[in-house]
Amino acid sequence: MEEKKSNPIKAILYISVWVIIWGTLGSLIDYPLYKNKIYLEGSIYQYLTFAITAILSIIGAKFFYKKFDL
């Protein structure tokens, strides 16, 4: 059997894309909550918004990593 060689450039790009997805998703959720004064900038709720979207992004990244040949 052939051993699969990992490509570090592809892995770095894959992680970078997921960081962008996480930041975008977190910001899209955060913006209306902040503008409608649901919470204030720097509050625990803003941190929770980004923490939860980070967890969802990690789960998505792990799920899709198996589907791609990296």
Q: Does 70 reside within a domain? A: no
CB 53 within 8 A of CB 26: yes
Q: Does 69 reside within a domain? A: no
CB 53 within 8 A of CB 22: yes
Q: Does this model's pTM top 0.85?
A: no
Q: Which domain holds residue 24?
A: 8-64
Q: Does 45 reside within a domain? A: yes
Read off the tokens for 60: 């998505």
Q: Does 3 reside within a domain? A: no
Measured between alpha carbons, how far is 18 from 3 in angstroms, rounded to an integer? Answer: 26
Q: Does 1 reside within a domain? A: no
pLDDT digits (tens, 9 = 90+) for 29-70: 999 999 999 999 899 999 999 999 999 999 999 999 888 776
Given a cut of 90, whether residue 23 has pLDDT beyond it is yes
Q: How confident is the model at residue 4 (pLDDT cuts 50, 70, 90)?
A: low
Q: Does 22 reside within a domain? A: yes
The amino acid that residue 8 corresponds to is: P
pLDDT the model gives residue 3: 60
Q: Does 23 reside within a domain? A: yes
pLDDT the model gives residue 11: 87
Q: Does 13 reside within a domain? A: yes
As for how many domains the chain has, the answer is: 1
